[in-house]
Structure 1
Amino acid sequence: MATYEYRCRQDGSFDVTLPIGTASPTVRCPRCGAPAGRLFSAARLARTPAALREAIDRAERSAERPDVVGRVPGGRPARRSTNPAHARLPRW
């Protein structure tokens, strides 16, 4: 669904929510019933939270230049398993 903006000559601007691509050039004003023309306006963008914006930026940067990781994040050393079957697994 998309929100389209229309302007009535008598009552001013109002919004209509319709499926994308189905907006007509004119609709009836919900207040007076007169024909209202469609306005072409800027997209309504919400402000992205800082943490989400940083995560998106980091993901975009890593697509071209991936970060090299030298250790597991968090600082805790990995525990060694005592299961003998795990000893045959490859180490990296």
Structure 2
Amino acid sequence: MPLYAYRCDEDGPVDVLRPMGAATPTVPCPSCGADAARMITAPRLGGADRDRVAAIDRAEASRTEPAVVSAPPPRPARPSPRLDPRTAALPRP
């Protein structure tokens, strides 16, 4: 659930958890009861886990500085199929 920021003229910032898109233009301040207006703030991406932040950084870097490669990546080795012991004596091509 997103965290929406509001500002009360008397008590300062107020944070409210609401479902996505359910934020109202004003909410009552929990301290004084006056209307607190909604503020527009930057997304809080710093609170994400390290893997997500690393993925965002890689995607951003690849947009402006794509990696230069000299050859396609090697094909992964295919595991050999497990042979059925009942067919082990059959000739193989």
Whether TM-score is above 0.5 comes out as: yes
Measured on the aligned residues, the alpha-carbon RMSD in Å equals 3.8
In 2, the alpha carbon distance for the partners of 1:49 and 1:71 equals 28
Gaps of 5+ in 2: 63-71
Query: Which residue is 2:65 aligned to?
Result: none
Query: Which residue is 1:49 aligned to?
Result: 50
Deviation digits for residues 41-73 of structure 1 (CA, Å, limit 9, x no counterpart): 00111254259826x949xx8xxxxx533453x
SS in 2 for 1:13: strand
In 2, the alpha carbon distance for the partners of 1:11 and 1:51 equals 35
Q: How many residues align?
A: 76
User: Structure 1's 21 and 69: CA in aligned 2 closer, same or farther, altered over 3 A?
Assistant: same
Query: Which residue is 1:2 aligned to?
Result: 2
SS in 2 for 1:53: helix
How far 1:14 moved relative to its partner?
1.2
Residue 2 of structure 1 aligns to which amino acid in structure 2?
Answer: P
In 2, the alpha carbon distance for the partners of 1:2 and 1:52 equals 18
Gaps of 5+ in 1: 62-66
